[in-house]
Amino acid sequence: MEEEKVQWTSHLSFILATVGSAVGLGNIWRFPYIMGKNGGAVFLLTYLFIIAFICIIPLCCELFIGKKYKTDTIQAIKSVNSKFTWVGWLCIITVILIPCFYFVVGGWILNYIWIFLTNNLPANFSGYFNSYSSQIFMPVFLTILFLIMTAAFPFRGVNKGIEKANNIMMPLFTLMLIGLAIYALFQPGAKDGLMFMFKPDFTQFNKTMILTALGQALFTLSIGMGTILTYGSYMKDKTNIIKSGYTLIFCDTLIALIAGIMIFPIVFTFNVEPSAGAALAFISLPEMFSKLPFSSIYGLIFFTLLFFASITSGISMMETGILSIIKNFNITRKRATIILTVIIGLISIPSTLSFGILKDFTLFNKTIFDLLDYSTSNILLPFNTLLICLLSGWCIKSLWKEILGENIFGYIFNILLKFVVPIILILVLVTGL
């Protein structure tokens, strides 16, 4: 089935969609914490160096391949070199596995929106979260609800669904984020919060910190699973790849920093040990929100913001899989969406139950949820990114010339692409394993 020849209606829509994909839970609940824990400003500088000189390379390759072949990940990689079609499949497997744990969190977010909306706040969030996430019916129901809500956008098509969603949600998200960050800056813990995030600590500069920064950068930029390639395939021909890549990196990092400014002043106002992940978003922060004036409004804005961040990322994961199903199995967009929704739904159920009845069901010492998270973020993402770089560097001879032209920047790009970035990724993989 020939999917309609779609394009983003404007450059801004393309940027909002890619930023929507990149900005997600990774920016809000992970980046600020690992920055604070890994040397503050020193981490930030290392991170900036890594995204500006290393991650920009696979990012541009994915955009380039998408723009050139204007098709899904599998067919595009097949066009680059048909012996490596399996790399495309590997990306699609990755992008199907990620929502199976990411959407579980989406379900928790829906539940918290509900309790803040109805002002039905528990006295103790730690006990509440642990008992809620270990239930059977409600968490599974809300994971599936989040999945269906996400799938509804690509179901309607690229322009009518995905583009509209990002054009509305991303500006709202940014407004809410800036609003909460300004409010946080007026809290008594603002100075300590900012110190935690930014204070340079040179003793932290070591191999582990560099690897942490690189892993975070790949996940947050949605590189290594065909998402950027897919969104790039809807790009207009005249779009400049390198400029778009840097715009995405700039927005993603800025938002992660503002997220930290929104979170840590509050954490330090209440003298709580800084944390990340589920413990931060679903236990310590809500606990503190409930002590602030207008607590339910504050909490409601925070979880709505988290909802926008995660659903726009989710939409991009779904779209990557959907376009591949359309192109490789010759079926309509609506059918493809339903098939993918069912597959993700089925895997998400045991993943959701990993916090309750399947808590003791482990493989390689990890619950299903943790295994999905670990295998995708630590193994598949760097591995796929490595293969995409090697394919782009060695099979598309003109790539660097077409992206930057025959000048010093082009030569540097070519060397980074062919040698430096692959070697770094191999190191990441070897140490990660």
User: Under the rule (CB under 6 A), what is the footprint of ligand PFF?
Assistant: 21-22, 24-27, 95, 98, 219-220, 222, 225, 227, 313, 316-317
Nearest-approach distance from CB 225 to ligand PFF, in angstroms = 5
> Which whole-number Å values give the CA distances from 22 to 2, 237, 247, 310, 376, in the listed order?
28, 22, 12, 10, 16
CB 415 → ligand PFF: shortest distance, Å?
A: 28
Residue closer to ligand PFF, measured from CB, 44 or 115: 44
Place of tokens 């800025």: 254
Q: Structure tokens of 198?
A: 């930014």
Nearer to ligand PFF by Cβ, of 103 and 413: the residue is 103
CA dist list (Å): 89 to 120, 321, 325, 415: 45, 10, 11, 27
Spatial contact of 314 and 103, defined as CB atoms under 8 Å apart: yes
Cβ proximity to ligand PFF: between 217 and 358 the closer is: 217
**How far is it, in rounded angstroms, from Cα 100 to Cα 376?**
11
Least distance (Å) between residue 58 CB and ligand PFF? 13
Give the residue with the Cβ less far from ligand PFF, 21 or 46.
Answer: 21
Q: CB of residue 21 vs ligand PFF: minimum separation in angstroms?
A: 5
Please state whether 418 falls in left (phi above 0), alpha (psi between -120 and 50) or beta. alpha
CA dihedral 21, 97, 302, 181 (to 10 degrees): -50
Cβ 419 to ligand PFF, closest distance in Å?
27
Q: Which is nearer to ligand PFF, 23 or 358 (CB)?
A: 23
Cβ closer to ligand PFF: 163 or 287? Answer: 163
Asked if residue 189 lies in contact with residue 270, where contact means CB atoms within 8 angstroms, the answer is yes
Q: Tell me how far CA of residue 139 lies from CA of 126, 306, 341, in angstroms.
A: 16, 17, 17
- Beta-bridged to residue 366, according to DSSP, are 363
User: What minimum distance in Å lies between the beta carbon of 132 and ligand PFF?
Assistant: 22
Nearer to ligand PFF, 222 or 414 (CB): 222
Quote the least distance from Cβ 168 to ligand PFF, whole Å. Answer: 19
Handedness of CA 165, 167, 169, 170 (dihedral sign): positive
Q: Which is nearer to ligand PFF, 205 or 374 (CB)?
A: 374
- Residue 123 sits at φ, ψ, to 5 deg, of -75, -30
Q: List the one residue out of 19, 24, 46 whose CA is nearest residue 259.
A: 24
Q: Which of 155/219 has CB closer to ligand PFF?
A: 219
The SS3 of residue 128 is: helix
In the complex, residue closest to ligand PFF by CB: 24
Closest distance of CB 191 from ligand PFF, Å: 28
Q: For residues 287 and 319, which CB has a smaller minimum distance to ligand PFF in the complex? A: 319
Nearer to ligand PFF, 187 or 337 (CB): 337
Question: Least distance (Å) from ligand PFF to the CB of residue 245?
Answer: 15
> What sections of 221-294 are H helices per DSSP?
227-232, 241-269, 277-278, 285-289
For Cα atoms 400, 56, 194, give the angle at the middle one, nearest 5 degrees.
Answer: 160
Q: In sequence order, which residues have a C-beta less than 8 Å from that of residue 372 and are 6 or more positions away?
A: 97, 98, 100, 101, 347, 351
Sign of the dihedral defined by the CA atoms of residues 122, 124, 126, 132, in that order? negative
**Cβ at position 313, least distance to ligand PFF in Å:** 4
User: Which distant-in-sequence residues (6+ apart) come within 8 Å of 430 by Cβ?
Assistant: none
As measured in angstroms, the least distance from the Cβ of 189 to ligand PFF is 26
